[in-house]
Structure 1
């Protein structure tokens, strides 16, 4: 599993190309040749960039869903809507397709943020707003998600 670290600001050109920050390029060096999958965010107006290995692990989970249950089929369709295979060129640039630029409301200023095993690509203003919106309840969220009260396995 890939573990990415960092948050970086960058710019997209008029064609929707962005230069991968050197720190991410270095972290992703072992998987650059395998390619990536770019998709719409599930909960936020951002894009998610999956190294192919991570995408394949996720697709193994998706393949276990019973496609004869309507909600599973609907979920798969919506989750994979707009999915694109992406390659990073020799200079470290990636091209964001127009439909995904529109979905995420991306302008020229971007933020690339690590989210454990994937990168999120945000319009800078939307990213800052999402972080500001989450600040007030982050302590409660952290306790709920990481406190492990529900399974008795407290972190120590």
Structure 2
């Protein structure tokens, strides 16, 4: 199972190429996952890199919850997949991010890669800090969530 963990700063070049951080690249290469699917996050102004197998699993899960013969549900599915782009890591571990994706999240140079379970997020360096929860609020929410979990008894 793929699991990414880390918060790594990086720079994107003028041609919108960027090196996948070595820690993440090692996990991808050891699992023979050189194909990545790029999509803008549904909720935040960041990009999400899905290893191909993770993407295939997510699409199958979404498809299983939707009725192909329901107009609204088909529109939801279409919008989810139409905003995706297939990327291949080159021999040096770089990917080329299409310019429209950089524009979507306002990336010009400095980015942050975040390992988030089985995906990798790419954030505009300045935007990430604005989305993080205050430390006290975070600890309170985690405490409330975990106190409501019967497995923690």
Give TM-score scaled by structure 1 length: 0.86
Instruction: Give the equivalent residue in structure 2 for 1:82.
Output: 83
Aligned equivalents of 1:154 and 1:148: distance in 2?
Answer: 9
Query: Which of the pair is proportionally richer in strand?
Result: 2
Aligned equivalents of 1:116 and 1:33: distance in 2?
Answer: 15
4+ residue runs over 6 A deviation: none
Unaligned runs of 5+ in 1: none
Tell me by how many angstroms 1:100 deviates.
Answer: 0.8
Instruction: Give the equivalent residue in structure 2 for 1:154.
Output: 151
Unaligned runs of 5+ in 2: none
The number of equivalent residue pairs is 151
Equivalences for residues 124-143 of structure 1 within 5 A: 124-131=125-132, 134-135=133-134, 137-143=137-143
Aligned equivalents of 2:121 and 2:141: distance in 1?
Answer: 20
Instruction: Give the equivalent residue in structure 2 for 1:23.
Output: 23
In 2, are the aligned partners of 1:82 and 1:100 still within 8 Å (CA)? no
Aligned equivalents of 2:29 and 2:117: distance in 1?
Answer: 16
In 1, are the aligned partners of 2:34 and 2:89 still within 8 Å (CA)? no
Tell me by how many angstroms 1:59 deviates.
Answer: 1.4
Aligned equivalents of 1:140 and 1:55: distance in 2?
Answer: 33
In 2, are the aligned partners of 1:31 and 1:51 still within 8 Å (CA)? no
In 2, are the aligned partners of 1:7 and 1:112 still within 8 Å (CA)? yes
Q: Alpha carbons of 1:118 and 1:148: their partners in 2 closer, same or farther (altered >3 Å)?
A: farther
